[in-house]
Structure 1
Amino acid sequence: MPETTHPPAGEYPRPAPVHHLDLEVAASQLLSELPGKRRRTRNLARESGVSAMLMALEAGAVVKEHSAEGVVTIQLLRGHVFVSMGSESLELQQEQLLMFQPGIRHDLRAEEQSVLLLTITGGH
């Protein structure tokens, strides 16, 4: 059964007036944790209804169909992925961005080792 994704409730950095994040360093660290796993996720920040996280995927890894309660952006920092929404499938390559509205059911498949910056705004 498809699941609903809520903004993550895991460990986030402490609230701060400014979060300054080096995505290249964070992506490299996350990839170093990937061997032997299909997927790794790191929570970067959560402030005022906005959640930001990095996700690293091995080639062939799949994120099963789900939806989010907020607006979602997926920015591909490295690699190559396909995002499917019903009968529509969109290809994302490095440095491309996809944004969709709350409740859109989607899944994701990594064609090669990939790193994504995900944001979810609104929702719970």
Structure 2
Amino acid sequence: MPTTTTTPTGPYPKPAPIHYLDLESKADRLIAKLPGHRRQTESLVREHGVSVLMMAMEGGDALREHSADGVVIVRVVRGHAVVAANGESFDVRPGEMVLMQPGVRHDLTAQEQTVVVLTVTGGDE
């Protein structure tokens, strides 16, 4: 691993020129915390107008309809989620993502145990 790379730690990692994130090991840790809970989250990055959050969800758990002031990217790391936005539904599986412009109302439902990475750029932090 390059010496200029920082692996974030803590609730809001310190700004760094480069962040290296092992999403698989972070997903493993969040899934291990799921028993007895419907959802677990970890903030991965929050700097320069970018917020990145990893969320593990049990099947059937949902984020109710909402919107964000910035661009929203939902990327599935594991499992299967349905993202509904602007009257359309998207089945999102590992390796797939949905990008929504600021203000687009959307919701997300885990179809099975699912891990997603949510990125919001711009807007208010």
Aligned to 2:13: 13
C-alpha displacement of 1:104: 0.5
* SS of alignment partner, residue 24 of structure 1: helix
Q: CA deviation at 1:93?
A: 1.2
The Cα of 1:11 is off from its aligned counterpart by 2.6
**Quick one: percent identity of the two aligned structures?**
50
Q: Between Structure 1 and Structure 2, whose CA radius of gyration is higher?
A: 2
Give distance in 2, aligned partners of 1:50 and 1:94: 22
Q: Which residue of 1 aligns with 2:27?
A: 27
CA distances 1:57-108 after superposition (whole Å, capped 9, x unpaired): 0011011111011001111010011111242211111110110100000111
Equivalence map 1:47-86=2 (5 Å): 47-86=47-86
For 2:50 and 2:17, the matched residues in 1 are separated by 14
Structure ranking higher in strand proportion: 1
Structure 2 equivalent of residue 89 of structure 1:
89
Q: Is the 8 A contact 2:83 2:89 kept in 1?
A: yes
User: 3-state DSSP class of the match of 2:11?
Assistant: coil
The answer (yes or no) to whether the contact 2:86–2:104 under 8 Å persists in 1 is no
Pair 1:45 & 2:45 matched: yes
Instruction: Name the SS for the 1:115 alignment partner.
Output: strand
SS at match of 1:68: coil
5+ residue gaps, structure 2: 1-9
Q: Is the 8 A contact 2:39 2:57 kept in 1?
A: yes
Structure 1 length normalisation: TM-score? 0.88
SS class of match (1:35): coil
CA distance in 1, matches of 2:112, 2:95: 15
Q: Match of 2:101?
A: 101
Runs of 4+ aligned structure 1 residues displaced above 2 Å come to none
Q: Distance in 2 between matches of 1:18 and 1:95?
A: 22
Scaled by the length of structure 2, the TM-score of the pair is 0.87
Aligned to 2:7: none
Amino acid at match of 2:93: Q
Structure 1 gap ranges (5+): 1-9
